[in-house]
């Protein structure tokens, strides 16, 4: 785009010099006028580039709250695994990484890391790291990992600009870039330190969509190829690529149904699908799923349908007889659908095509996971979204979105159809699962940007036409809407101007509220690393609970290097990454039985649990306990999920045994099984001697606000190995068996 | 017959060697007092000797002997000559060098002390010797629980090991508390409070040795830094960046059994008496940008007090250290360059910085000090008051092309007394300082030129 800019400049300067030859008296006048005109164009470019540059920087720095407030560190759970693998990749090289069998997790099974992860994020970070090293910037890999997410968020704003430009105009592009730069829905997953797949995946997702829409608009093979590579990057980075491989065919199908089939679409989709599929197969974790799994069959069906359409087009061209063609059409379409249906049926029946996975089902049916896969339902980010979190994450975009949809429908094109479909489907998924708000965010931002841009443009053109009637030509792209406003203007002039000003002020007020809200949300809600907890003290001072790292570092330094640690799966990644010790289960929840075994051990009596732990070679047991600090997301509050997941595989564990009248209690009224299960004992061991709050009896659990029911806990097979300073993490050593007599 | 000649030859050889040694026998120690401080993990011994030349020739040097069990734990030996009477006492440091004596009994180790002026016949000199022993307190019992306090053994001799005849001598052991389980009794020996007194003993022949064991309570922090790497990076832009990598361990009796947080919190006085959780580092004054972190991130428990003469960093490891527990961490800070970098008269520059470990009362098993000189520095040389292993390395830092010369100084068994200044001399042309800014400027320049060119050049093949 930039390359074409000076071209008209040269042309016009030529014409200008010709003009000077003809009329020398006008020289000064024409020169200044012409150069001014040139300047406005260059100025526009300058303004656009500088706005985009500012947005780019803004997107980056808005995500640095956590670094400034805490430190440059990796957040949450999954990012620790990503960090550990990236470290491995940079230390050992790509081939070692690709063939890495990790014996530190899922003991005794182990995990083939290279074949069970999306390597895109790690490879990206490693490439950035190696490039910086090559340029003699000797940064630590941790800094690269921490800043990968903000960096890619910045890149996303650029893609959003081009996408907005493609579907509407440059103004919408700029607004989209600005909106997405600070949208909390996106920031929640891309603050500095949240080194997760989503950090690069949203960039890849939007890039793929943009390139595909561009390909559809131009029919160019090059853009389609670009889109295929974008898809490849997305597949390498995140499992959410399934969304692309279903949305794009759905979009194509809609275009086919609405009679918008064109050669451009044919080129774009075929190239993108075939190449994208072949490239995606290179990722070991994905493998042949594109031809074997139920989730990917839609794309293949649409691909075949596309060929049928092309064939029919060709036949229509050859036949010239409409009646004959109609019959032919009927026969072909019926047989094609029939053949496709049979192939799908045979494939599914023979087991060649795998059925849909649980996660996919749970997306289509929000209640599915609750009944069938408790492990998916147990994750808080897999819960259905509450209305408040929509408001929290989108703020005014929630109102602008329908307005944008209205504008899109008013100016329907291939591109706007795409964005509408993307917006509507992703918004549905966002309603099903909290974490998918992230996927919907770019669409919501783009559609809202259209609304903002179109409204502001209409309003400003209204004001301008009022002031300088002859200079209407200076605004381009406003097009038909401006013409209509002019008509309106003629009808009621004085009223219109004030109204426009008021509305403009209203828009700017709303946008400024949005900016304030986003900053507030980012700083208050999304910039906490969750591994370091901060609280306000009685005198307003900041108290830091760094117990997690205390415990993990203790494990790392003071336990045998081959020690096996059993904990609930949430902490698995952190223990391996920070504690450098082998864990039984971790956040890669690939083996439900193994997790259920741990859940069963935690919910059994100590001697039963001891047998399970012996069979798993467990040396240490780690529990998270918030009773002293009032930290509510601890293992006692997660305990029912352990029971449910354990009970799902081992029917000995029954949920009602742990409840009293359907109520989960830890005080005196708790069920006897609850009061004596391993988890209860490990959390509350010697807690009864402690006075946690002034004026409360000893053994008062601050997280649940009750006095515990079993204060006299004796451990037989385990002993306290370490408890952190605020009791948040407690580690127990499993004693060797006593001598048999 | 041949055998007899052989024996004779041996006797002659022995006699000759003794006569070579006889200058040593010209000396005798009139009075010796030894005070051994056992109150921390570092054993400090103060030896006051009155030496007399009873021979006929002037003697220039004397020997100090140490038993083989001590010689490998010996961190430092210093000697001072005292002249003048009580009020006008002046101390003169003397040169002390390790030496090999081939005929030493039972592998005893020796140090040679050179007198300032040779000691004439009949003259006496008063010497004060300080020697420091590390890893000489042996925990017994080897493993203790959280509620027990730490007991240690100290092995030594009741009389001073010396190649000279000692007319009269006394030894005092100072224990940290009054709790002494046992001590070997060599009459006259008695204990009063925190002090155990052996002696006075009269007329002990050379190389007398009477082993004694003192078994006592010592709960002082046994903070042992297994390895410390200090990196001092000189930037001629105005600062000195120091990064210290610690591998700390509790070198006392190993912790056994449970760690109970309840006991540790509520009964602090009797629970974990030998453990420690606070450390103090003495840093230079005007220190800034101090950080304290480890492999997994920042550690938030530290306080810095800056002062005119020194700064103090009080910090806690992530967890209290019990016997055998380990902790690794990094301390980094920055000091202004003008306090430590000077120009030598011969147009060279030199860094004047403190050797040793900033942590108080710690033993460092292996200390590596790396001085990273700025890129383009030449002819580095280090000057130290004691011997260390020296080496040169190359390090690449931000925007380095040829790399920086690193002077590596390595020493084992370092105690706080080694915190003395050392110098590193090198030559450096100030023009090299501009290399990196120039590189950055030119990089930006090329980016702008490239974008200018891109905007102005039409790369389209097809004409529009």
Rank A370-384, A726-740, B23-37 by mean pLDDT and report only the highest.
A726-740
Residues 6+ apart with CB under 8 A from A11: none
Please check the confidence at residue A32 and state whether its pLDDT lies above 60: no
Chosen domain end from A333, A365, A380: A380
- Residue A14 pLDDT class (50, 70, 90 cuts): very low
Vertex B312 angle, CA B306 and B315, to 5°: 125
Q: Is residue A13 part of a domain?
A: no
Residues of chain A numbered 542-561 and touching chain B (CB < 8 Å): 544, 546, 549-550, 552-554, 556-558
| Residues in chain A within 8 Å Cβ distance of B400 | 136
Domain of residue B191 covers: 26-217
Q: Clarify whether residues B161 and B254 are in a common domain.
A: no
B183/B288 same-domain check: no
- Tell me if B20 is assigned to some domain: no
Q: Is residue B459 part of a domain?
A: no
**Predicted pLDDT at B415:** 92
Size of interface A-B (CB pairs under 8 A): 85
A553: chain B residues, CB-CB within 8 Å = 294-296, 318-319, 327
The last residue of one of the domains, among B198, B217, B236, is: B217
Closest residue of chain B to A73, computed from CA coordinates: B297
Residue B327 domain-assigned? yes
Q: Does residue B233 share a domain with residue B211?
A: no
pLDDT at A33 over 70: no
Number of residues written out for chain B:
464
Is B182 in the same domain as B280?
Answer: no
Average pLDDT value for residue range A53-82 = 92
Q: What is the pLDDT of residues A671-717, one digit of tens each?
A: 999 999 999 999 999 999 888 888 888 889 999 999 998 888 999 99
Residue where one domain finishes, among candidates B186, B217, B248: B217
Q: What pLDDT score does A441 carry? A: 95
Query: Do the Cβ atoms of A137 and B261 come within 8 Å?
Result: no
- When pLDDT is cut at 50, 70 and 90, the band that residue A324 belongs to is confident
Over range A479-490, report the average pLDDT: 47
Question: A553 and B455: CB-CB below 8 Å?
Answer: no
Both tokens assigned to A720: 């306290």
A419 located within any domain? no
Residues B339 and B254 in one domain: yes
Q: Which of B257, B299, B398 is closest, CB to CB, to A137?
A: B398
Within a domain: A213: yes
Q: Do A720 and B260 touch (CB under 8 A)?
A: yes
* pLDDT at res. B17: 43
Element (H, E) at B116: strand B109-119
Does A487 fall in a domain? no
| Per-residue model confidence (pLDDT) at position B3 | 52
| Cβ proximity of B363 and B251 under 8 Å | yes
Is pLDDT at A39 greater than 70 in this prediction? no
**The pair of three-digit structure tokens given for residue B21, joined into one six-digit string:** 């040694």
Task: Give the pLDDT confidence of A330-359 residue by residue, as tens digits.
Answer: 888 888 889 888 988 888 888 888 877 777
∠ Cα A638 A639 A645 (to 5°): 95
Structural tokens at position B389: 């292993």
Chain B nearest-CA distance from A727, in A, is 8
pLDDT tens per residue across span A418-443: 999 999 999 999 998 888 999 999 99
Q: How many CA atoms lie within 13 A of B257 on its CB side?
A: 8
Is residue A555 one of the residues assigned to a domain? yes
Q: Cα-flanking dihedrals φ and ψ of residue B76, to 5°?
A: -160, 140
Whether A87 is in a domain gets the answer yes
B160 and B269 together in one domain: no
* Residue A177 is assigned to a structural domain of this protein: yes
More confident residue, A10 or A665: A665
Give contacts of A558 with chain B, Cβ < 8 Å: 324-326
pLDDT in tens, B128-139: 999 999 999 999
pLDDT digits (tens, 9 = 90+) for B217-240: 999 999 999 999 999 999 998 899
Sign of CA dihedral B51, B57, B62, B67: negative
Mean per-residue pLDDT, A720-735: 94
Is the model's pLDDT at B348 over the cut of 60?
yes
B51, pLDDT greater than 60: yes
Whether residues B193 and B236 fall in one domain? no
When pLDDT is averaged across residues B434-446 and rounded to a whole number, the result is: 91
Which residues of chain B does A552 touch, with a Cβ-Cβ cutoff of 8 Å? 296
Using a CB–CB cutoff of 8 Å, tell me whether A722 touches chain B.
yes
Per-residue pLDDT band at A323 (split at 50, 70, 90): confident
On chain B, the residues whose CB falls within 8 A of the CB of A719 are 257-258
pLDDT computed for residue A319 by the predictor: 81
Both structure tokens of A461: 């053109």
Contacts of A557 in chain B (CB under 8 A): 325-328
Report the residue from B259, B294, B459 with minimal CB separation from A722. Answer: B259
Say which of B319, B454, B459 has its CB closest to residue A550: B319
Pick left, alpha or beta for residue B286 (phi over 0 → left; psi -120 to 50 → alpha; otherwise beta). left
pLDDT band at B464 (very low <50, low <70, confident <90, very high): low
Q: How far apart are alpha carbons B449 and B446 in whole angstroms? A: 5
Look at residue B19 and tell me if it is in a domain: no
Q: In terms of domains, do B229 and B205 share one?
A: no
3-class SS letters over A122-185: HHHHHHHHHHHHHCCCCCCHHHHHHHHHHHHHHHHHHHHHHHHHHHCCHHHHHHHHHHHHHCHH
The pLDDT of residue A362 is: 78
CATH code, domain carrying B277: 2.60.40.1730
Contact B214, B378 (CB under 8 A): no
3-state secondary structure A536-585: ECCCCCEEEECHHHHHHHHHHHHCCCCCEEECCHHHHHHHHHHHCCEECC
| Residues on chain A touching B297 (C-beta within 8 angstroms) | 71, 73, 532, 549
B328 neighbourhood in chain A, CB within 8 Å: 557
- Give yes or no for residue B166 having a pLDDT over 50: yes
Residues in chain B closer than 8 A to A6 (CB atoms): 455-456
How many angstroms separate the Cα of A648 from the Cα of each of A186, A375, A594, A664?
Answer: 35, 10, 12, 19
**Between A71, A73, A727, which is nearest B261 by CB?**
A727
Query: What total of structural domains would you count in chain A?
Result: 2
Select the more confidently predicted residue: A40 or A270.
Answer: A270
* pLDDT, average across residues A553-558: 94
Q: How many CB atoms lie within 10 A of CB A67?
A: 19
Specify whether B116 is located in the same domain as B74.
yes
Candidates B327, B397, B460; nearest CB to A138 = B397
The domain total for chain B is 2
Of the partner residues B262, B296, B318, the one whose CB lies closest to the CB of residue A690: B262
Please, what is the average pLDDT of chain A? 87
Interface of B with A (CB under 8 A): 257-262, 265-266, 293-300, 318-319, 324-328, 396-401, 454-460
Cβ separation A3–B294 shorter than 8 A: no
A71, closest residue in chain B (CA to CA): B298
| Cβ contacts of A602 within 8 Å, gap of 6 or more | A568, A609, A635, A639, A642, A646, A677, A678, A679
Token pair listed for A409: 């429908």
Q: What CATH number is given to the structural domain containing A718?
A: 3.40.50.12610
Domain co-membership, B241 together with B354: yes
> For A577-628, how does the pLDDT look when each residue is reduced to its tens digit (9 = 90+)?
999 999 999 998 888 899 999 999 999 999 999 999 999 999 999 999 999 9
C-alpha neighbours within 13 Å on the C-beta side of residue A434: 19
What confidence score (pLDDT) does residue A40 get? 76
Q: What is the pLDDT of residue A359?
A: 74
Block residue for tokens 């990273």: B372
Contacts A7 to B, Cβ<8 Å: 458
Residues 484-543 of A with CB under 8 A from B: 532
Domain with residue B98: its CATH number is 2.60.40
Let me know if residue A371 belongs to a domain.
yes
A58 or B401, which is more confident: A58
Distance, in Å, from the CA atom of B126 to the CA atom of B82, rounded to the nearest integer, reads 5
Among the partner residues B258, B266, B297, nearest to A719 by beta-carbon distance: B258
Interface probe for A, chosen from B249, B259, B315, B439 (most Cβ of A below 10 Å), is B259
Q: Does A136 touch chain B (CB under 8 A)?
A: yes
Domain end residue (candidates: A318, A349, A380): A380
pLDDT over 80 (residue B243): yes
Indicate if the pLDDT at residue A207 is higher than 60.
yes
The confidence band for B371, taking pLDDT boundaries of 50, 70 and 90, is very high
Q: Judge contact between B226 and B324, C-beta under 8 A.
A: no
For residue A36, count CB atoms less than 10 angstroms from its CB and return exposed for 0-12, middle for 13-18, buried for 19 or more: exposed
Tell me which of B262, B330, B453 to substitute to probe the interface with A (most A C-beta atoms closer than 10 Å).
Answer: B262
**Among chain B residues, CA nearest to A558:** B325
pLDDT digits (tens, 9 = 90+) for A265-312: 999 999 999 999 999 999 989 989 888 888 888 899 999 989 988 988
pLDDT value at A91 more than 60 = yes
Flag whether residue A578 sits within 8 Å of chain B, measured between CB atoms.
yes
pLDDT number for residue A234? 96
Contact call for B455 and A3, based on CB within 8 A: yes
CB contact under 8 A, B259 and A7: no
Range of lowest pLDDT (A36-45, A317-326, A730-739): A36-45
Mean pLDDT of B398-405: 87
What confidence score (pLDDT) does residue A491 get? 52
Q: Are B334 and B242 in contact (CB under 8 A)?
A: yes
B153 located within any domain:
yes
Angle at A664 between CA A663 and CA A670, to 5 degrees: 100
Q: Which residue has the higher pLDDT, A35 or A599?
A: A599
Do B47 and B160 fall within a single domain? yes
Q: pLDDT at residue A481 above 80? A: no
| Nearest CB neighbour to A2, from listed B265, B294, B455 | B455
Q: Which of B145, B245, B247, B318 to mutate to test the interface with A (most CBs of A within 10 A)?
A: B318
Are B173 and B38 found together in one domain?
yes
Domain boundary among A349, A380, A411: A380
Chain B residues closer than 8 Å to A686 by CB:
260-262
Beta bridge partners, A543, equal A535
Range of the domain at A636: 545-734
Shortest CA distance to B204 belongs to which of B158, B269, B250, B151? B158
| A574: nearest CA partner in chain B | B296
Q: Is residue B16 part of a domain?
A: no
Q: Which two tokens stand for residue B220?
A: 């002082």
């Amino acid at each position: 785009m930039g390359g074409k800019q000076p071209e008209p400049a040269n042309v016009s300067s030529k014409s200008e010099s010709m003009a000077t030859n003809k009329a020398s008296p006008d020289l000064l006048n024409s020169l200044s006028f012409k150069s001014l005109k040139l300047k406005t164009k260059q100025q526009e470019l300058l303004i656009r580039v500088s706005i985009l540059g500012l947005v780019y920087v803004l997107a980056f720095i808005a995500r640095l709250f956590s670094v400034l407030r805490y430190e440059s560190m990796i957040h949450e759970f999954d990012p620790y695994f990503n960090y550990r693998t990236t470290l491995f990749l940079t230390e050992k090289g790509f081939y070692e990484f690709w063939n890495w069998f990790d014996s530190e997790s899922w003991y005794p099974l182990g995990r083939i890391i290279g074949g069970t992860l999306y390597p895109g994020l790690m490879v990206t970070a490693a490439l950035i790291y190696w490039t910086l090293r090559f340029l003699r910037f000797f940064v630590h890999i941790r800094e690269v990992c921490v800043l990968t997410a903000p960096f890619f968020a910045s890149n996303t704003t650029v893609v959003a600009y081009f996408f907005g430009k493609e579907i509407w105009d440059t103004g919408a592009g700029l607004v989209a870039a600005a909106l997405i730069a600070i949208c909390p829905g996106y920031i929640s997953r891309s603050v500095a330190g949240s080194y997760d797949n989503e950090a690069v995946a949203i960039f890849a997702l939007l890039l793929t969509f943009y390139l595909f829409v561009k390909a559809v608009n131009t029919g160019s093979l090059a853009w389609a190829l670009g889109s295929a590579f974008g898809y490849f990057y997305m597949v390498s980075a995140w499992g959410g690529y399934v969304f692309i491989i279903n949305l794009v065919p759905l979009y194509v199908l809609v275009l086919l149904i609405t009679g918008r089939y064109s050669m451009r679409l044919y080129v774009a989709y075929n190239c993108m699908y075939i190449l994208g599929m072949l490239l995606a197969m290179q990722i070991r974790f994905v493998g042949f799923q594109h031809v074997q799994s139920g989730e990917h069959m839609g794309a293949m069906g649409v691909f075949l349908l596309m060929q049928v359409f092309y064939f029919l087009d060709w036949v229509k061209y050859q036949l010239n007889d409409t009646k004959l063609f109609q019959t032919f059409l009927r026969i072909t379409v019926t047989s094609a659908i029939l053949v496709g249906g049979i192939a799908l049926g045979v494939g599914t029946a023979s087991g060649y095509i795998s059925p849909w996975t649980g996660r996919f089902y749970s997306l289509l049916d929000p209640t599915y996971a609750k009944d069938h896969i408790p492990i998916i339902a147990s994750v808080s980010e897999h819960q259905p979204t509450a209305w408040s979190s929509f408001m929290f994450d989108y703020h005014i975009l929630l109102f602008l979105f329908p307005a944008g949809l209205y504008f899109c429908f008013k100016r329907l094109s291939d591109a706007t159809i795409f964005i509408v479909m993307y917006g509507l489907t992703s918004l549905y998924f966002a309603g099903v699962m909290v974490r998918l708000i992230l996927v919907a965010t770019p669409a919501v931002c783009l559609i809202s940007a259209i609304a903002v841009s179109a409204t502001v443009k209409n309003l400003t053109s209204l004001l301008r036409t009022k002031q300088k009637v002859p200079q209407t030509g200076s605004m381009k792209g406003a097009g038909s809407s401006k013409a209509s406003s002019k008509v309106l203007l003629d009808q009621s002039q004085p009223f219109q101007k004030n109204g426009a000003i008021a509305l403009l002020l209203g828009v700017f007020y709303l946008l400024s509220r949005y900016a304030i809200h986003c900053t507030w949300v980012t700083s208050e809600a999304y910039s906490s690393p969750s591994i370091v907890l901060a609280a306000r003290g009685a005198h307003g001072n900041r108290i830091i609970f760094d117990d997690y790292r205390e415990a993990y570092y203790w494990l790392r330094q003071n336990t045998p290097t081959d020690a096996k640690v059993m904990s609930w799966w949430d902490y698995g990644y952190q223990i391996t990454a920070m504690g450098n010790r082998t864990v039984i289960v971790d956040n890669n929840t690939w083996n439900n039985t193994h997790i259920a075994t741990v859940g069963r051990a935690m919910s059994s009596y100590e001697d039963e649990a001891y047998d399970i732990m012996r069979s798993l070679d467990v040396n240490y047991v780690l529990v998270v306990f918030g009773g002293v600090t009032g930290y509510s997301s601890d293992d006692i509050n997660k305990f029912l999920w352990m029971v449910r997941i354990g009970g799902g595989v081992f029917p000995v564990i029954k949920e009602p045994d742990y409840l009293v009248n359907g109520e989960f209690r830890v005080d005196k009224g708790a069920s006897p099984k609850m009061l004596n299960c391993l988890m209860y004992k490990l959390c509350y061991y010697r807690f009864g001697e402690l006075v946690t709050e002034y004026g409360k009896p000893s053994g008062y659990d601050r997280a649940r606000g009750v006095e515990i029911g079993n204060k006299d806990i004796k451990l037989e097979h385990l002993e306290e190995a370490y408890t952190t300073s605020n009791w948040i993490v407690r580690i127990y050593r499993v004693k060797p068996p006593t001598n048999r007599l | 017959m041949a055998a007899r000649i052989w024996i004779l030859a041996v006797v002659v050889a022995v006699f000759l060697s003794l006569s070579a040694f006889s200058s040593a026998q010209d000396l005798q120690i009139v009075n010796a007092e030894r005070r051994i401080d056992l109150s921390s993990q570092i054993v400090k011994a103060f030896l006051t000797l009155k030496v007399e030349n009873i021979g006929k020739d002037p003697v220039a040097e004397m020997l100090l002997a140490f038993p083989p069990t001590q010689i490998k734990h010996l961190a430092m030996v210093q000697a001072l000559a005292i002249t003048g009477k009580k009020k006008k006492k002046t101390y003169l440091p003397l040169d002390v060098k390790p030496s090999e004596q081939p005929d030493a009994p039972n592998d005893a180790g020796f140090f040679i002390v050179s007198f300032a002026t040779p000691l004439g016949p009949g003259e006496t000199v008063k010497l004060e010797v300080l020697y420091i022993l590390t890893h000489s307190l042996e925990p017994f019992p080897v493993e203790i629980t959280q509620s027990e306090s730490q007991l240690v053994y100290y092995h030594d001799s009741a009389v001073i090991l010396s190649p000279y005849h000692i007319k009269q001598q006394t030894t005092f052991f100072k224990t940290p508390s009054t709790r002494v389980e046992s001590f070997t009794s060599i009459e006259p020996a008695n204990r009063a409070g925190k002090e155990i007194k052996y002696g006075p003993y009269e007329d002990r022949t050379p190389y007398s040795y009477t082993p004694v064991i003192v078994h006592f309570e010592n709960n002082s922090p046994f903070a042992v830094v297994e390895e410390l790497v200090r990196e001092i990076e000189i930037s001629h832009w105005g600062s000195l960046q120091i990064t210290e990598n610690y591998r700390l361990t509790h070198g006392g009796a190993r912790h056994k059994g449970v760690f109970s947080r309840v006991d540790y919190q509520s009964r602090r006085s009797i629970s974990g008496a030998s453990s420690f959780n606070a450390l103090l580092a003495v840093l230079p004054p005007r220190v800034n940008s101090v950080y304290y972190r480890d492999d997994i991130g920042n550690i938030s428990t530290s306080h810095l007090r800056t002062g005119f003469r020194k700064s103090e960093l009080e910090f806690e490891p992530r967890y209290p250290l019990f016997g055998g527990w380990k902790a690794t961490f990094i301390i980094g800070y920055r000091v202004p360059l003008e306090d430590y970098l000077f120009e030598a008269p011969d147009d060279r520059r030199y860094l004047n910085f403190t050797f040793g470990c900033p942590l108080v009362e710690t033993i460092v098993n292996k200390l590596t000090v790396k001085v990273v000189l700025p890129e383009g520095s030449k002819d580095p040389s280090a000057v130290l008051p004691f011997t260390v292993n020296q080496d040169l390395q190359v390090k690449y830092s931000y925007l380095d092309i040829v790399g920086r010369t690193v002077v590596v100084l390595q020493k084992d068994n370092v105690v706080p007394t080694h915190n003395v200044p050392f110098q590193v001399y090198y030559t450096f042309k100030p023009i090299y300082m501009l290399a990196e800014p120039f590189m950055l400027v030119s990089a930006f320049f090329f980016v702008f030129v490239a974008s200018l060119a891109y905007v102005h050049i039409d790369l389209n093949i097809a004409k529009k």
